[in-house]
Amino acid sequence: MSAKTQHDCWTVLARVMLHTGHDLPAITKNDLFAFRSAQLLQLGVRAAGCHQVWELLTDVGILEANHGLYELRLGQRSVAHLVDRYDITPGPIRDLFVRYLQERKTSVDYTTLSGLAADIVGNFWADIEKHHPGIDTLALPADVITAWKERLATVVGVNGETRPRASSGYILLNVRSFYLDLRDWAHEDPSIVPYAVPSPVTRADATGLNRRKLHVRAKIHQRIRERVPLLPEIVAHLERELAQARALREAAAKAPLDDLLTVDGRSYVREDGYVKAARGLPPGTSYVVRDLETGSGSAPPDANTTRSGSGPSWKPCATRAFGSRNSSNSPTSRWSPTDCPPPVRPCRCCRSSRPRPTRNASCWSRPNWPASWPW
């Protein structure tokens, strides 16, 4: 268990004991449930160290062993929980968001539903309430809309630095869809009529999403062009590491406990240690050594995970496979920087930026991609 994990466990235990007033032997599983729920409700994230505390309390007999960790998994949240985690003001607007998401729940998966709640409740309405307290109508003034769009365009980091928000187009599109859905539903449900107001996101705001997609794709391709020439150097470095690790493993296998061994000019001491079986290490092939220069002790990386030294480490293999995926030559025969696909224009029929095979004459057919492209 790392030092950070130990610190997280002590933090969880201290908070639970201070909140409940229980001593350590009196902590129950309900105390951990309550702590985890409070963390999720207030911060929107799981408490670090909660699972480790559960295991430790089970090992020492404070919690019953028949209560598994699965009890901490709450599964999918309700629509009301997805809305309330953004701490918006209770009232008709909050109930409208719950009702809208409940209606959309039947047609989308949970991940899409959670993302939709984050866009229209978290990034839109919660931000509006934060900067304009007291507002209680979806018919927003022009100055409020303009200020929100300006804030949406950038993301403020923890250090105060700002950067452009890559997902702003998707958020604008979801907010516009929310307003347009309310307008359509108002024809069938009179209770929706008071909320059928003009959308703060115009058609001009929502256009250009395909251009943003193509820009993101172009950035990905540019990163590939920049990194592909470096693959031979990466493979050579990983192969050197593999050779060093194998030499260290072979030396550790021959050395008795507490004996000094030297590999590539560095001195190590063979120690008795326990290597977790979860790492997939066969019996009798794992050794723990301590580097006398750094003082750190660990199982030799890659060398112990090579399964008796028969076969290369996964790192050089994965990198070599990535670099020569469609090449039958030596590992140094990689793609050239010009092998990356050029930017793709959107399809005129489906407005998708991904060309699809089709017989429709008004839509592009699948292009003849070079065999060297990895996708």
Rounded to whole angstroms, the Cα distance separating 173 from 185 reads 18
Identify the pLDDT of residue 357. 39
Identify the pLDDT of residue 250. 85
**pTM listed for this prediction:** 0.52
Helices (H), 166-324: 168-185, 203-206, 209-227, 231-254, 314-323
Identify the pLDDT of residue 267. 86
Please check whether residue 108 is in contact with residue 119, taking contact to mean a CB–CB distance below 8 angstroms. no
Total residue length of the chain: 375
Domain ranges of the chain: 3-72, 80-207, 227-347
How deeply is 177 buried, as exposed, middle or buried, from its count of CB atoms within 10 A (0-12, 13-18, 19+)? middle
How crowded is residue 214: how many other Cβ atoms within 10 Å of its Cβ?
Answer: 15
Please check whether residue 218 is in contact with residue 230, taking contact to mean a CB–CB distance below 8 angstroms. no
Please check whether residue 286 is in contact with residue 248, taking contact to mean a CB–CB distance below 8 angstroms. no
Helix (H, G, I), strand (E, B) or coil at 343: coil
Identify the pLDDT of residue 294. 73
- The tens-digit pLDDT sequence of the chain (375 residues) is 677 788 888 888 888 888 888 888 888 878 887 887 787 777 767 778 887 887 888 888 887 766 555 555 567 888 998 998 898 999 999 999 999 999 999 899 999 999 999 999 999 999 999 999 888 899 999 999 999 999 998 888 778 788 888 888 889 999 999 999 999 999 999 999 999 999 999 888 877 777 878 888 898 999 999 988 888 888 888 888 888 888 888 888 888 888 888 888 888 888 765 444 434 555 556 677 888 877 655 444 433 333 333 344 555 555 555 555 434 343 333 334 344 444 444 433 333 333 443 333 333 333 444 444 443
Helix (H, G, I), strand (E, B) or coil at 184: helix
Residues forming beta bridges with residue 290, ordered by sequence position:
269, 297
Cα angle value 205/209/212 (rounded, 5°) = 120
Look up residue 319 and give its two tokens.
């990198």
Rounded to whole angstroms, the Cα distance separating 186 from 195 reads 8
Identify the pLDDT of residue 297. 53
